[in-house]
Structure 1
Amino acid sequence: MNLLFKILGYLFIILFTVGAVLQYNDPDSLYWIIIYAIAAFVSLLFALNKIGFVLPLALGALAFVGFLYLYPTNFQGFDLNDGDIETVELGREAFGLLIISIVMLVFSFCIKRKL
């Protein structure tokens, strides 16, 4: 595996773990802690070169479907001063899933192409 992608894997282990920890005060925190913890675990497997391309591909596809499902019809930004708290929260959650989706799909591509 390319050193750059290995470093990227370790970076996203840290970022997804921080994301999981920061969910403690969310109203539905358990779901989001689990989602980010799974993303961190798959990133660890990727960094250690211990995973096939199917798992990150499936996780990336699921996360993208979640993004489409949660994306608010009237997105108002990420700052609570920008709009309704529920709409802002949905936007934040949706874009968190989009980040997971992109990262997992890049991991899957790297594994498939043996980069």
Structure 2
Amino acid sequence: MMFRVISILLAAYFVLAAGLQYNDPDPLHWMLLYLTSALTCVLAAIRKDSLPLIYASIGMASIEIAITADGFFTWLKAGNENLIVAKMSAEKPYIELGREFLGAMISLVVAIWLWYRKR
């Protein structure tokens, strides 16, 4: 029962994250990642896990992590602001990239968790 509750809460988080992407400069692939992550959570909650969908989530999240990693590591080295509440600006692109990196990392961790559980 606890697994189902956690899966549904994670699905709700991913749907919310997808909805917040509508005003992003590159919303489509982020919305696709988050909605795929939400679907994997819903399917896991109803015990209809799909390994191919979990593998797709892992692949999509890994690609996004690779794309945004440079910005995240720049923030680790040079950024002194809180990544979550800092205002984005053209002078500090690492803020947006760092946030995207963390979002993709959350998707990856959840997908690996679901894969491990399904295995």
What is the TM-score with the length of structure 1 in the denominator? 0.81
Unaligned runs of 5+ in 1: none
Secondary structure class of the residue paired with 1:27: coil
Residue among 96, 110, 113 paired with 2:117: 110
- Normalised to the residue count of structure 2, the TM-score between the two structures is 0.78
Structure 2: distance between partners of 1:111 and 1:32: 25
Instruction: Work out the CA distance in 1 between the residues paired with 2:19 and 2:115.
Output: 25
Which amino acid letter does the alignment assign opposite residue 102 of structure 1?
V
Partner residue in 2 for 1:99: 106
- What do residues 52-93 of structure 1 show as CA deviations (whole Å, max 9, x unaligned)? 445324522541343133112412351237x94311111111
Please identify, of 16-25 and 56-65, the stretch whose mean Cα deviation from structure 2 is larger.
Answer: 56-65
Partner of 1:42: 40
Question: 1: CA distance between counterparts of 2:28 and 2:42?
Answer: 21
Q: Percent identity between the aligned chains?
A: 27
**Separation (CA, whole Å) in 1 of partners of 2:97 and 2:59:** 19
Instruction: Output one character per residue of 1:26-49: Cα deviation in whole Å (capped at 9) or x when no partner.
Output: 111122111111111111111111
CA distance in 1, matches of 2:45, 2:19: 21
Please tell me whether residue 22 in structure 1 is matched to residue 29 in structure 2: no
Q: Deviations over 1:85-105 (max 9, x none)?
A: 311111111110000000111
Determine if the alignment matches structure 1 residue 67 to structure 2 residue 71. Answer: no
Cα shift at 1:4: 1.7
Question: Who is 1:88 aligned against?
Answer: 95
Q: Distance between the aligned counterparts of 2:56 and 2:32, measured in 1?
A: 16
Distance in 2 separating the partners of 1:96 and 1:62: 12
Q: Which amino acid in structure 1 is aligned with residue 74 of structure 2?
A: N
